[in-house]
Amino acid sequence: MHGRVKAKDVSARDRGAAKHGGAGGKMSDAAKWLAPALLGAAALGTSALYVRKMTRDAERRYPPVGRFLTVDGVRLHYLERGQGEPLVLIHGNGSLIQDFMVSGLVDRLAERYRVIVFDRPGFGYSSRPRRVWTPRAQARLLYRALQWLGVEKAHVLGHSWGTLVAVSLAVENPSFVESLVLEGGYYYPTARADVMLFSPPAIPGIGDLMQHTVSPPIASLLLPKMIDKIFAPAPVPDRFHRLFPKELILRPLHLRAASEDTALMIPAAADMQRHYHELVAPVVIVAGADDQIVEMRRHSERLHHELPGSELVVLPRVGHMAHHTAPDLVIEAVDRAAHRAARSRSASAQESAAPAVWP
């Protein structure tokens, strides 16, 4: 009789312990989250090793194509070709020096200009210290780098996000920039889905974890469709498929730079639109009529109306990558802007040389 009572008491105690989270309940709860946590950690570790190997392989396959200089603690990778008046090419978000090389722009323009192309901070082989890299900050950095290279004046071509850097350079150094060609630019703050989608990797901490684990494989999967979209409605040129170093733009630092630029795009445009009227250099605006990345009418056409004396070149059946799909017309725009600058210099020289007329 006493044995039966004890058994019942023990059973009751066990049920009470389980109900109130006793040792057995705690172990069961821990097991529920511990296994997924361990699996997640293992997956992230494996992904990190894969990303590290992918980065090494990419850099082995595509070594630097230019030279290096260090300005304000930033190691800048740059390429210089040709002789003549300096012409600076500034690439867009997620891109690098090879974008202009693969398009043929560098070699063709180097026939009559001293062409200088930089990997902007964090892209290609340029470093990107932790700071807020607004278009103005990047323009100041490039200006100091160009001074170090002995450039006193320059023509400037900016593409996409790089147009904001080009405009900043011209606004802050009006006597330095002789002419501006702005291709496929984003000039006014407008709602963009890509800002919400691609900005999280820019967040310190969680963004760093993403960049070294999940972001590169995900970006690799998305890249083919993204490339198709930036060229649409034109097909992607075979030359781009063969020669553009896609693996380089999937490295962690490159992805961080692209995410940070994306996050800054709308506020940067909001800041710059107050200064467009300050531009004094001749401006030629080039835009694809069917650009699916930046709407031509809301940006290029609007900027043209805001800048008296600017030229607008709209290319039918061309998307965001005009320098690849219509390089002849982009080169023509560069030459036309340079000729306008030369005429302006000549007119100013004649006015200065004209004898004073005394009453």
Strands 67-71 and 74-81: antiparallel
What average pLDDT does the segment 51-75 reach?
94
> First and final CA of the chain: distance in angstroms?
136
pTM: 0.84
What pLDDT score was predicted for residue 355? 54
Q: What pLDDT sits at residue 39?
A: 55
Per-residue CA distances from 225 to 17, 70, 277 (Å):
56, 36, 37
Architecture per CATH, domain 65-341, reads as 3-Layer(aba) Sandwich (3.40)
- In this predicted structure, the answer to whether residue 2 has a pLDDT above a threshold of 50 is no
Checking if the pLDDT of 270 tops 70, the result is yes
For the chain, give every domain's residue range.
65-341
What's the half-sphere exposure (Cβ side, CA atoms, 13 Å) at 63? 2
pLDDT tens digits along 313-335: 999 999 999 999 999 999 999 99
Is pLDDT of 271 > 50?
yes
Give the chain's mean pLDDT. Answer: 87
- pLDDT at residue 32 tops 90: no
> Which is more confident, 359 or 230?
230
pLDDT band at 49; cut points 50, 70, 90: confident
- Count Cβ atoms within 10 A of the Cβ of residue 335 and give its class: 0-12 exposed, 13-18 middle, 19 or more buried: middle
Q: How confident is the model at residue 74 (pLDDT cuts 50, 70, 90)?
A: very high
Whether pLDDT at 356 is above 80: no
**Quick one: pLDDT band at residue 204, thresholds 50, 70, 90?**
confident
Per-residue pLDDT at 6 exceeds 70 = no
> In the predicted model, what is the mean pLDDT of residues 175-197?
88
pLDDT of 161 reads 97
- Please state the rounded mean pLDDT for residues 61-75: 97
Q: Please give the DSSP secondary-structure letter assigned to residue 120.
A: P
Helix (H) / strand (E) containing 266 = helix 252-272
Write the DSSP assignment of 271-340 as a string of letters: HHTTTGGG--S-EEEEEETT-SSS-TIIIIIHHHHHSTT-EEEEETT--S-HHHHSHHHHHHHHHHHHHH
| pLDDT at residue 13, as a whole number | 47
* pLDDT score, position 26: 52
- Phi, psi dihedrals of residue 307, rounded to the nearest 5°: -110, 95
Instruction: Tell me the per-residue pLDDT of 90-136, one tens digit each, with 9 for 90 and over.
Output: 999 999 999 999 999 999 999 999 999 999 999 999 999 999 999 99
Per-residue pLDDT band at 4 (split at 50, 70, 90): very low
